[in-house]
Amino acid sequence: MSLKTGLEWRYATKKFDNTKKIPADKLEHLLQTVKLAPSSFGLQHYEIVVVEDPAVRERLKEASYGQSQLTDASQVIVFAVETNIDEDYVKAYIDEMASARGVKREDLSGFEQYVLGSVSRLSREENINWAKKQAYIALGVLISSASELQIDSCPMEGFEADKYDEILGLKEKGLTATVMATIGYRSDEDPYANMAKVRKSDKDLFIRI
Ligand SMILES: Cc1cc2nc3c(=O)[nH]c(=O)nc-3n(C[C@H](O)[C@H](O)[C@H](O)COP(=O)(O)O)c2cc1C
């Protein structure tokens, strides 16, 4: 299936079939695809929490205004962004880059100084906001690649981040929940599955210069 056909097929699933589970190999394929999402400087300013535990999901549902996707989907995928994007974080990334590319650490010092300059120019809050933008790119990759695999999903930001941080133990890891997606298979009873897509007309969406 082409990506366009997948995106035509997908919709923000409101009602999942709670008897259907994504096979382990498909889930792994999906997660490995999300891992390839681009991020500013490649810093991957987030971690991705895959929640399956039914008791935890029950608590997440309460912190998500009771939305049923939290407990009916196959998995809940939470994008939690780094709250401490600092010198140490950047240095660890440069270490990783030197090792992955087999280059000398000192050969990367120009790039390192450039990244450090960008990070230090921003306040802690601004760095977190920057990180959140990266998480949304990964969310887009998740939703798109799920559609190619005919896995249903619902991107979601209707939840109380503070409560998620507490339930998932994110604060002590230097993370905060930003956005999530529930993934699985649509229920035959989801009326949203057959609704026409509402999108801007080409004229209103594309500015061609
Ligand atoms: C960032 C983001 C957050 C969303 N949050 C929720 C949510 O909390 N609950 C929900 O049911 N749908 C949520 N949606 C789904 C949108 O309402 C849906 O994508 C939009 O209406 C377009 O419909 P479609 O995706 O079915 O084409 C969210 C979508 C995005 C992209």
H/E segment holding residue 130: helix 124-148
Reading phi first (left if > 0) and then psi (alpha if -120 to 50, else beta), residue 169 is in: left
Which residue's alpha carbon is at the smallest distance from atom 11 of ligand 1?
14
14 touches ligand 1 (CB under 6 Å): yes
Give the pairing type, strands 46-51 and 75-82.
antiparallel
d(CA 90, CA 105) in angstroms, rounded, equals 13
Q: What is the pLDDT of residue 40?
A: 97
Q: Report the distance separating Cα 169 and Cα 98, nearest Å.
A: 31
Q: pLDDT tens digit string along 42-88?
A: 999 999 999 999 999 999 999 999 999 999 999 999 999 999 999 99
Residue 7 Cβ < 6 Å to ligand 1: no
Place of tokens 């010092």: 109
All domains in the chain, ordered by first residue: 3-205 (3.40.109.10)
88 touches 119 (CB < 8 A): no
Residue 1 confidence class, pLDDT cut points 50, 70, 90: confident
For ligand 1, say whether the CB of 157 is within 6 Å of any of its atoms: yes
In this structure, which residue's CA is closest to atom 17 in ligand 1?
12
Say how many Å lie between the CA of residue 178 and the centre of ligand 1: 14
Cα-based torsion angle of the residue sequence 41, 178, 23, 53 in order, rounded to the nearest 10 degrees: 140
Q: How confident is the model at residue 117 (pLDDT cuts 50, 70, 90)?
A: very high
